[in-house]
Amino acid sequence: MTHPFLPTLALLPTLALLPPLAGGQFLRVDLAPVPIAVLVCGLALYLWGVVRQNRLHPRRHWPARRTAAFVGSAAVSAVAVVSFLGAYDRTLFWDHMIQHLLLIMVAAILLAISSPVDLLWLATSGPAHRRVTAGLRSGPARLAGHPATAFALYGLLVPITHLTILFNWAIEYEAVDQLDHLLFLAIGYLFWRQIFGADPNRYRTQPPMRALLLFLAVPVDTFVGLTLSLEKSEIFPAFTGEHRTWGPSLVTDLHIGGVVMWVGGDILMMLALIPVVLAWVRREERRATLFDREFDAYFPQQLSGGQPTAGFALGRHRSSTVRALEIPGPTSDAAPSGSASHAPEPLAPFEPGPAGPAVGA
């Protein structure tokens, strides 16, 4: 099956050429040159950036946990596109769903934690650093960093790539399938940076907003999964035209994939909610500790002069001494420089504004 808008793309080998997925086939690899080149180049550039950042700022080395997160993201992406999951992703629908979940909900999370934009900003100097700073302050960068943009892209990507002809093209054309993988990583990164990221961004969501974003994202996966699992017949002609003679029937395969998207996606979202809730609880505990310190410091003074006044209730009693006890307030969206005495101070990509510490930063 071909499409008039994609005349130059060669069709992939037919599904019938692949043997049943059993036994040693789980060790099968798909050595496609494009995804392997992207993974190797991305990993090499990130590690080079770490070396350069540590050279420019010897007093503030790049956190090892972020490097480990990027390596983990590359490893998960390799499992998704190079292992048997990549070899059979155009043969079995449920295999394709597992691949997509790994890319958008595991690899993308680790990519957000690794903070590649922050590394790029810190690893550059001179004119290149100024260009990166200008890019981070640009309108498109601010639009891409807005929580509403990230949620809208995620909410559109999942149903469009699974319930429309785009999925059929991904089965038929290798170039579309590879573009599909990049979209899942890129849009997944934009979404998860709002939850776990520490990259320079004008907008930094607090734990309550992060929890809200996750709760709003759960119905997206549920809707797509339920829709697929309730279909009465195969909805993708590319699978029908290949006449696979082994494994589950086409409809059963479709239903299994729908359940994977529905149940698997919801479970992963709930797991991601755990550190967000913990961060929210710690935030409230710090606020309660601050209140207790102020109460203990000022209530005896109020008692010596009579009953607490309205000014005490409104917080007008606070002095500079007690304000010093407060936990640090929202930090700047700018990435900290931490440069050595011989290195120039990096230009902040954003002016100080309301922001909060990122989970997993």
Per DSSP, helices labelled H in 197-339 are 207-229, 237-240, 250-259, 265-304, 310-313, 320-323
How high is the pLDDT of residue 264? 92
Per DSSP (E only), the strands in the chain are: none
62, 361 in Cβ contact below 8 A? no
Average pLDDT across the chain, whole number: 80
- Tell the residue number behind the tokens 């997509």, with chain if given: 100
Instruction: Mention every residue, 6+ apart, whose C-beta is less than 8 A from residue 114.
Output: 46, 66, 67, 69, 70, 73
Give the integer Cα–Cα distance in Å for 172 and 238.
6
46, 70 in Cβ contact below 8 A? yes
How high is the pLDDT of residue 279? 86
CA distances to 107, 273, 302 from 313, in Å: 49, 35, 11
Q: What is the percentage of the chain residues whose pLDDT exceeds 90?
A: 51
Q: How many CB atoms lie within 10 A of CB 320?
A: 6
Instruction: Mention every residue, 6+ apart, whose C-beta is less than 8 A from residue 33.
Output: none
At 196-235, the pLDDT tens digits run: 988 888 888 888 889 999 999 999 999 999 999 999 988 9
Helix, strand, coil shares of the chain, percent, nearest 5, are 65, 0, 35
Average pLDDT over residues 229-254: 86
Please check the confidence at residue 305 and state whether its pLDDT lies above 60: no
Residue 315: Cβ-neighbour burial (10 angstroms; 0-12, 13-18, 19+): exposed
136, 299 in Cβ contact below 8 A? no
Q: Where are the domains of the chain?
A: 24-323
Give the integer Cα–Cα distance in Å for 144 and 53.
25
Residue 302: Cβ-neighbour burial (10 angstroms; 0-12, 13-18, 19+): middle
Residue type, 120: L
Residue 239: pLDDT band with limits 50, 70, 90: confident
Please check the confidence at residue 280 and state whether its pLDDT lies above 70: yes
